[in-house]
Structure 1
């Protein structure tokens, strides 16, 4: 007797697959071509995003790392329905197919992609990789034509919100030149669209410091102040702009004197798709180039209890502009603040708690070491590693 093999209709597969988190769905794509076709269809993405529209994505806010410092998170969120990760994001940032004893460090991230450098003890050199750590998909980046310092990672999304390409930016390790009163920065840019490095000459009126903040293909860098009397600025450049454009945008920061903010701590971060500048006494400025008052628009100004008035802002929740993270130096502890309700929670020790939305971890211990080492001259700029709302393969160069 012959047995008739019946296939499951695509519509039923969609109804089944959307009930799983993205991390599991990534595995389903490997089962067969028909499942892969269903999952990569625009209809499936539409149904999944609609079902999970109220679910946040996993994210981490990390300290700057170096060759001798491990990857360390200040605050992290995982276990959400969208990805269902059992561990914080930093746990997944590991070199591809390399021994566990390999030395590596996190450089930057953008739209769910991370850039890591791996040290090869045999050749005494470094290899660079860009990829999605959760899916363990990595692209090895060839070395640039000359020695360069790591600068930043930028990405571009298509209309469906899928990352279509990435660019790695490195700055040539020579002193910035001057040309008719302008600072000249020579950067090498690697594009996943071509698989090649290109040299770009950037002109700006102010010298800059790293690390940058990245958003929508643009790097925002803090000015390296030459004089305390100058008005502070941010220097930005859109690496997906016109090819012949070499002029950096100089964006003046809000005047601290307006808020009686004298040499106070501040931070530069992103949240809800905007660049956010937070002053010490809880004035938050949202970047808006259509603002009547210039580049910045005051988004929040509140008065808080005296015990929290002099906390140092260090970051903001990547999705919720009401939630800010602070450091209370006198008690060496982290503080979570809700700017809408003006409720503040003091975390004297490292904590972890679980809710219906997922798991959140606060790393007070490592924050203390980092905050003690920071200085008042420059703002606090921590790195945000945020998984996207949708999963797709890492863009790969030709061949």
Structure 2
């Protein structure tokens, strides 16, 4: 063949798209920044649908976080990473702080997350406040996109949680909620400030409960599909099991009434409980006298009074070799068979498979791989949080924050200019 007659072969664009869509999101993010043509391709609805369909069976990276705001900016108990979808080389929580836009992470701590977005808040004292402009931000720590959130009108408030709206599988907007300190003598009312990415402004909101409750805000809530859930105690029944308080921040109608959901089963002062989510459901776990039970919330508008459904028969922890002092931490966000506990006897995290009833001790902070990804267990944080929790309030319901990376690189919703 003569020189010059050779022609460089090129693959059809459809084949190239199929190849790229099989790569992990971390690699696709780099391809996206090569040129405008690649960016347009990756951000197209067709490419997103193709990627999601090809990775439908693969889990995403996630972390289980403790709400210890001022002791450490990152308080991860369990982290899963290195899986096929994202292929991160380190735990998701390690991406939260620092963020490139705000490298001085000494002043920031993790507040909450929802559908891959994270809310970080600034810490500052009186002297620092004179030098540093108060700032918090919501963003995707992995892609390093973020939006600055202005401070609420009332500085005397407690950053609480955030919720997101999903439209056609994409995060379209977010709201962050701060509990206001005013009106603490009113047990039927919860005052808060809500910032919306749709308006770019804070608004004052007053929620009401049909029964008087002990708390006045959402101090350690769970969020799912635009709703928040928090355990609280009735003022007229302080020794009872308590209730779940839920509210939909994206409700179509302007209803400020919270919903009260009773907890399942009779109450006992020796019960150990947690509230978590898994596979898109609210999950309630309890351990009482070495009996482990897992419930799923059936719906948010039960007409027959049956709010909860047992996911399987109870498990006798003694039969699998664990003591009565096992406290539930949470569930795997993508697998309702996998549960995580804290054993006071062994002072370590326990991972368990409810289907096979196999439980494993993790005595030290460690990292290991299981074929699908890598795991990181932080024993020291778990010990500190669980022992402090049950030393001061043995009747509480533990609610840890799940930082779950999204199934796609959703852009951070931008407020109007």
TM exceeding 0.5: yes
> How far does residue 293 in structure 1 lie from its aligned partner after superposition?
4.7
Residues 250-289 of structure 1 aligned to structure 2 (within 5 Å): 250-257=260-267, 261-280=268-287, 281-289=291-299
Q: CA deviation at 1:282?
A: 1.3
Query: Relative to 1, partners in 2 of residues 1:317 and 1:166: Cα closer, same or farther, differing over 3 Å?
Result: same
Pairwise CA distance, 1:101: 5.5
Find out whether 1:303 has 2:315 as its counterpart.
Answer: yes
Choose which of 127, 138, 156 in structure 1 pairs with 2:146. Answer: 138
Q: Is the 8 A contact 1:65 1:107 kept in 2?
A: no
Query: 1:314-343 CA distances to partner (integer Å, 9 max, x unpaired)?
Result: 111111101110111112111111111111
SS of equivalent to 2:134? strand
For 1:390, the equivalent position in structure 2 comes to 408
- Alignment partner, residue 236 of structure 1: 246
C-alpha distance 305-191 of structure 1, shift in aligned 2 (>3 A): closer
Counterpart Cα distance in 1 of 2:238 and 2:106:
43
TM-score, scaled to structure 2: 0.88
Match of 1:119 among 118, 123, 144: 123
Query: Is the 1:256–1:262 Cα contact (8 Å) retained in structure 2?
Result: no
- Distance (Å, rounded) in 2 between the aligned partners of 1:170 and 1:101: 21
Is residue 2:344 matched to residue 1:329? yes
Deviations 1:231-290 (A, max 9, x none): 510111100013521000011111335xxx443110011111011000112111100125
Please state whether the residue corresponding to 1:163 is helix, strand or coil.
strand
Partner of 2:327: 312
Residues 329 and 398, structure 2, Cα contact 8 Å, conserved in 1: yes
Cα RMSD for the two superposed structures: 2.2
Structure 1 length as normaliser, TM-score?
Answer: 0.91
Partner of 1:36: 39
Residues 1:218 and 2:236 are matched in the alignment: no
Structure 1 position 184, deviation (Å): 1.4
Q: Does 1:245 align with 2:245?
A: no
**Range moving further from structure 2, 10-19 or 138-147:** 10-19
- Counterpart in the other structure of 2:99: 95
* Cα distance in 1 between the residues matched to 2:259 and 2:339: 28
Provide the rounded CA distance (Å) in 2 between the counterparts of 1:132 and 1:216.
Answer: 18
Q: Measure, in 2, the Cα distance between the counterparts of 1:314 and 1:294.
A: 25
Where does residue 158 of structure 2 map in the other structure?
149
Matched, 1:193 2:198: yes
TM-superposed CA distance for 1:96, in Å, is 3.8
Structure 1 moving runs of 4+ over 6 Å: 4-8
Query: Do structure 1's residue 162 and structure 2's residue 167 form an aligned pair?
Result: no
Structure 1: distance between partners of 2:134 and 2:233: 28
Distance 1:334 1:291 in 2: 39
Q: Do structure 1's residue 49 and structure 2's residue 56 form an aligned pair?
A: no
How far residue 8 of structure 1 moved from its aligned partner, in angstroms, is 6.9
Residues 29, 129 of structure 1: CA spacing in aligned structure 2 closer, same or farther, 3 A cutoff?
Answer: same
Once residues 273 and 309 of structure 1 are traced to their aligned partners in structure 2, the CA distance between those partners, rounded to angstroms, is 30
Distance in 1 between residues matched to 2:150 and 2:9, nearest whole Å = 48
Structure 2 residue matching 1:26: 3-state secondary structure: helix
CA distance in 1: counterparts of 2:242 and 2:22, whole angstroms: 49
SS at 1:61 equivalent:
strand
- SS of residue matched to 1:28: helix
The Cα of 1:46 is off from its aligned counterpart by: 2.0
List aligned pairs for 1:4-15, cutoff 5 A: 10-15=13-18
Question: How many pairs were matched up?
Answer: 390
2:382 is paired with a residue whose SS is: helix
Q: Does 1:62 align with 2:65?
A: yes
Closer, same or farther in 2 for the Cα pair 1:298/1:41, shift >3 Å?
A: same
SS in 2 for 1:145: coil
Distance across 1 between alignment mates of 2:265 and 2:323 = 19
